Amino acid sequence: YNRDDKVMPREVLTYPMGSLRINELMAPTLEAISRSEVLQRKVRDVSFLTTLSGEALISISYNKPINETWVEAATALAASLDARIVGRSRGVKLVVGGETVSETLEIPGRGACTYTQTEGSFTQPNAKVCEQMLGWAFDATRGFEESDLCELYCGNGCFTIALAPNFRRVVATELSKSSVHLAEENVALNGVTNVQVARLSAEEFVEAHAQRRHFRRLETAGIDLGDAGGYRLETLFVDPPRAGLDAASRGLAGSFERVVYISCNPETLARDVRALSATHDVARVAAFDQFPYTPHLECGVVLQAKSDRYAAGVDRPEYGRE
Catalytic center residues = 264
**Rounded to an integer, what distance in angstroms lies between the CA atom of residue 160 and that of residue 154?**
7
Query: Does 261 show up as a binding residue in the annotation?
Result: no
* Torsion sign over Cα 138, 258, 180, 21: negative
Q: Cβ contacts of residue 261 below 8 Å, gap of 6+?
A: 237, 238, 239, 253, 269, 272, 273, 300, 301, 302, 303
CB-based contact 272:245 (threshold 8 Å)? yes
Q: Which helix (H) or strand (E) holds 305?
A: strand 298-305
**Rounded to an integer, what distance in angstroms lies between the CA atom of residue 228 and that of residue 23?**
53
CB-based contact 256:234 (threshold 8 Å)? yes
**Rounded to an integer, what distance in angstroms lies between the CA atom of residue 153 and that of residue 175?**
7
Query: Does 272 show up as a binding residue in the annotation?
Result: no
CB-based contact 243:268 (threshold 8 Å)? yes
Q: Phi and psi of 219, rounded to 5°?
A: -60, -45
Give me the amino acid identity at 281.
Answer: D
**At how many degrees (to 10) do helices 68-81 and 20-35 cross?**
140
**Whole-Å CA distances, 99 to 257, 265, 269:** 40, 30, 34
Query: Does 239 show up as a binding residue in the annotation?
Result: yes
DSSP class of residue 317 equals P
Query: Does 148 show up as a binding residue in the annotation?
Result: no
- In 3D, which of 233, 261, 93 has the Cα closest to residue 171? 233
Q: Which residues are annotated as part of the binding site?
A: 124, 153, 174, 239
Q: Which residues are annotated as part of the binding site for S-adenosyl-L-methionine?
A: 124, 153, 174, 239
